[in-house]
Structure 1
Amino acid sequence: MTKQTLTACQYALIVTLGGFVFGLDAAIISGTIRYITAEFGLSDMELGTVVSAPSLGAIFGLFLAGKMADLFGRKKTLIIIAVVYLISALGSAFANNFTVLLLARFIGGLAFISISVTSMYIGEVSPPQLRGKLVSFNQLMMVIGLSGAYFISYGLVQSVAPGETEIWGLAIWRVMFATEILPVLIWAGLLFTIAESPRWLLMHGQREQAKQVIFSVNDPASAAAALEDMEANLASHKNELAEDKPLKLTFAPKYRKVLLLGIAIATAQGFTGMNAILFYAPVVFEQLGSGVHGAFEQTTYIGVCGFIFTLAAIFLVDKLGRRPLLIMGLAAILASHLLCWYGFSSASYEISQRTLDNVPVSMDASKLEPHIGKTFDSDIALKTLLAETYEHKDAKLIEGYVIESSVTMNATVILFGIFAFIGAFHFSIGPIMWVLISEISPNAIRSVAIPFFALTTSISSYLVQHLFPWQLNTIGAAGTFLMYGMFAAIPLLVVALFLPETKNKSIEDIEKTLVSEA
């Protein structure tokens, strides 16, 4: 490995630590759900609001991402983002009511633009032969962050007795949120050591600095050509950018194919439901009868599964290419959701003495005695009974214990479907979306196109997160998974028909292919 390759990898590793922070911040909420719901007495829609608040914040943040990245530079923008993450972590850990927690989570969402800015930065710093792996590494770091959040939550829950909500004299959910603080501080410090994007430097007339960066991350034989290509590309867009703003150019007819592909890929990442699994993981596994502690244990497997398949994608994305991985992954996602739909639609529930015995002593199981022997053909009917029998706070805490001891279902089929979905997502649309939007976005509209595609996936992710509790209690688990499966079908068709292979091509060459064919 050459010195230049090591430098490119070093820069990529540092900026993708933001992916780790993102994953930790995004998934740690999954461990807090049952506790904040009980403490603040949250309704389904209020819970959906606080869980989805970061995605809503990201939507607002993405309107500024491109302008900030162009005005301040990619490096300074990432440093600002790290500070915002820190404010969010502190606010979440010390929130004393629902409104403060909601605001802190929303502020954290403003920092979620780190994902699009990181993809932009790596795409502009990395040599073509490394770009796929290095951009995908961002997804790997996100998965490691997600895994860290799940293991932290599981470890904390295992440290307290069933029904207990405090550890070390603090509410357990506050400790969960506080674990984000140290990683954010480390990331912020390391960001000061990276170079600025050479494209940004050229755009601002700093040719010598840009040349130094390009020669530091490219082999000498290709560095001069890379600099020449960047300058030629920027020059070709100079008149275009002088006459039209990037926002207007983004929707020009010649970029229609770029927009179609970007929107299809971005919506697939959001609407196929991964964030419902990631952010509500313990709740999802409770629907299988895993119990509270069992559900937290199973969430740790999500991170392990995601890590393995993301690692596989990183090794294969520059060998097999983006197109085949994406097509295989979307097809597998569709099949996985249909399998989950079948499993949940076949489930039944019966209240028995075993159900009462499984409820922790701290909760009043006697209220269920009049219902012993009752059978329900859906999770919706059972949850309706609990809502009618208990106060909202108690119903949410007892739900997992009741489902665990009353459900009859083929949990193996559903578990296989869930983990097949997780694997397929992290093998394809998860990491490859960020690679592709970085590659297919032409230089003239990059500062708008990449945040726009990130905005699209943020909106779809926000809707999934916000509506999931309501969906689960309104159309049930079966209907929810069926809906997610259908959202994989259309992007699969668009990708199969219109996406060219982009591996080992420069951004300039990809632009020539897509724009000339548009």
Structure 2
Amino acid sequence: MRQLVKFNSANMNVTFFALVAAFGGFIFGLDAANISGALRFVSAEFELDSIQQGTLVGGALLGVILALFFTGTFCEKFGRATVLLAIGCTYSLSSVVSAFALSYEMLFVGRFIGGVAFASITVSAMYIGEIAPAEKRGKFVSINQFMIGLGLLCAFVINYFLVKALPTSSWLTEENIWRVMLGAELFANAIWIALIFCIPESPRWLAKKGRDGEALSVFEMIASKGSAQALLTGVKVSLENNTDLDTFSQLKTLFSAKLRFVVFIAVVYAVVQGATGMNAVLFFAPMVFEQVGMSVENTFMQTITTGVVGLVATLVAIGFVEKLGRRTLTLAGLALVVVAHGSTYIGFKQASYEFNDSAMEELTAHFEEKEISIALLAPFSGKRFSSDVALKTELAKQFDKKTLPLVSGVIIEKTISNVNAVLVLFGIFAFLAAFNLSIGPIMWVIFSEIFPNKVRSVALPFAALVQTISSWSIQQFFPWQLDNMGVANIFLLYAGIGAFGLILMYRYLPETKGKTIEALEVELTNNTMKGQKNSNA
């Protein structure tokens, strides 16, 4: 039974409803940061290789891929708010299974279930896009990315203090710390489930189901009474012009020639957003900072900085998305992505690793403190490696899978030289800022705007599916790429993808700010790629 919370002004109502819907993004942020912090300890616990590490992290996105095949149908049948409630319960199940996992396989199942719940971001964007006024829709949909950033920051802070307390804690150990990280999400899940009962169903969905009285009541909460009836009338006219379609018919319409341009824009944006490397930095943050030569504690400290940078950039995006528009922010952000990844590539390119007397002395002391056989270090004495790939190849031969995750970071820290840490850190933080300032939040704004009412229930999940597959490929293969390509070449690849996206977006991306969903439907379905290119060139 819903107990709706109503404020005195329409703006406050929309803000509250949007924040609650976007709270799933906060849970997503918590989960992403928690698994990035837990991965080192999980890898040692279950003796994982690089492919298994990627599979474990990418398992969540495999769950998303499965969920997105059904999300549209469920949203159409049961409503957006009801699906969000089901997703909140699924998150809770994922947290329990993950925290109490007894094996790698059981933890993968927990991560997979959590991935099913990641569909909340798509449903949130759909819900917010349907309740927010046209002139403020970009700002409200961007709340999704803000909540993700807030969740990341909270988890990074918690993980840092857990790792900092690890050496002196009487109950926290390297064997159970990851369970604490993954189980902490339950508290946030419970809050979200309670809040979902306080928001109404989407008025556009209610109108589509013929529940005009309920739809009008919701419109009166999120708009002035004078405009509420006009909004409902506009939705009804749009629905009358578009016959009610089942899921298969919606998919057929989505891929028709009339919507070809809209689908092209969505696919390009989704691929570029996913493949420029955010999930590598997001889910493997401590591993990335480890490559610079930081201690374990410092890598977790730097993740807090990444959380702050991402959150501040998202706030800037929210403030400017209606002023500068979606197109300007996207192009500026992608240009900065290319510069940022180029900087990271240059910073890492000349790095080398030398086991000199000083490094051997410090490593010996560390191994003795951790009760690891110092005989394992002997073959490396006096050696120098010209690349991180060569170093990791030899480390994998010498150390077993249980020990390697716990020693690789300190070995890199003590032996690395010629790395330009300033360029690397600038590149990583500039990329985080660029992503959260532009393609991170703006993608969901674009998705919530460009699809016609008659196909929205399948179009948003389809676009999210493309983005998810793109992101999954990054997560799945990042640990393997670190071992076989080297960190410098990985970021060079991301820079190339960003440049490719920048060219396509410059030529084809339309501006959508300040227009109703119904108006955009008329404009975009009557457009062609040729016409758009000419109008934006």
TM range (shorter): over 0.9
Q: Residue 99 of structure 1: CA displacement?
A: 0.9
The whole-number CA distance in structure 1 between the counterparts of 2:429 and 2:447 is: 26
1:86-485 equivalent positions in 2, closer than 5 A: 86-161=92-167, 167=172, 171-238=176-243, 241=245, 245-359=249-363, 360=366, 361-362=369-370, 363-408=372-417, 409-485=419-495
CA separation of 1:100 and 1:72: change in aligned 2, threshold 3 A: same
Q: Residue 246 of structure 1: CA displacement?
A: 0.3
Deviations 1:363-406 (A, max 9, x none): 33342234222111110111112112222221221110011011
CA separation of 1:45 and 1:218: change in aligned 2, threshold 3 A: same
Is the 8 Å Cα contact of residues 17 and 141 (structure 1) preserved in structure 2? Answer: yes
CA separation of 1:10 and 1:88: change in aligned 2, threshold 3 A: same
Q: Which amino acid aligns with 1:382?
A: L
1:493-504 equivalent positions in 2, closer than 5 A: 493-504=503-514
What does residue 46 of structure 2 align with?
40
Residue of 68, 85, 97 corresponding to 1:62: 68
Count, aligned residues: 516
Q: Residue 123 of structure 1: CA displacement?
A: 0.4
The whole-number CA distance in structure 2 between the counterparts of 1:493 and 1:197 is: 36
Identity in percent? 43
SS in 1 for 2:377: helix
Is the 8 Å Cα contact of residues 358 and 401 (structure 1) preserved in structure 2? Answer: no
The whole-number CA distance in structure 1 between the counterparts of 2:173 and 2:54 is: 28
2:12 aligned with 1:6? yes
Deviations 1:291-337 (A, max 9, x none): 21111111111100000000000000011111000000011101111
The whole-number CA distance in structure 2 between the counterparts of 1:277 and 1:133 is: 25
Deviations 1:351-374 (A, max 9, x none): 123323333221333422342221
SS in 1 for 2:514: coil
- What is the TM-score normalised by the length of structure 2? 0.93
Deviations 1:242-300 (A, max 9, x none): 89710110100111111111011111111001001010000000000012111111111
Is the 8 Å Cα contact of residues 358 and 402 (structure 1) preserved in structure 2? Answer: no
CA separation of 1:175 and 1:204: change in aligned 2, threshold 3 A: same
SS in 1 for 2:118: helix
CA separation of 1:255 and 1:45: change in aligned 2, threshold 3 A: same
The whole-number CA distance in structure 1 between the counterparts of 2:246 and 2:198 is: 33
Q: Which amino acid aligns with 2:119?
A: I
Q: Stretches of 4+ moved more than 3 A in 1?
A: 241-244
CA separation of 1:357 and 1:160: change in aligned 2, threshold 3 A: farther
SS in 1 for 2:353: strand
Q: Residue 464 of structure 1: CA displacement?
A: 0.7
5+ residue gaps, structure 2: 1-6, 529-537
- What is the TM-score normalised by the length of structure 1? 0.97
Q: Residue 43 of structure 1: CA displacement?
A: 1.0
Deviations 1:75-103 (A, max 9, x none): 11000000000000000000011111000
Is the 8 Å Cα contact of residues 48 and 469 (structure 1) preserved in structure 2? Answer: yes
SS in 2 for 1:500: coil
The whole-number CA distance in structure 1 between the counterparts of 2:396 and 2:177 is: 25
CA separation of 1:177 and 1:340: change in aligned 2, threshold 3 A: same
Deviations 1:391-441 (A, max 9, x none): 222122111001101111111111000100000000000000000000011
2:87 aligned with 1:81? yes
Q: Residue 178 of structure 1: CA displacement?
A: 1.0
The whole-number CA distance in structure 1 between the counterparts of 2:171 and 2:338 is: 40
Q: Residue 217 of structure 1: CA displacement?
A: 0.2
Report the RMSD for the aligned CA atoms in angstroms.
1.7
Q: Which amino acid aligns with 1:8?
A: V
Q: Residue 193 of structure 1: CA displacement?
A: 1.0
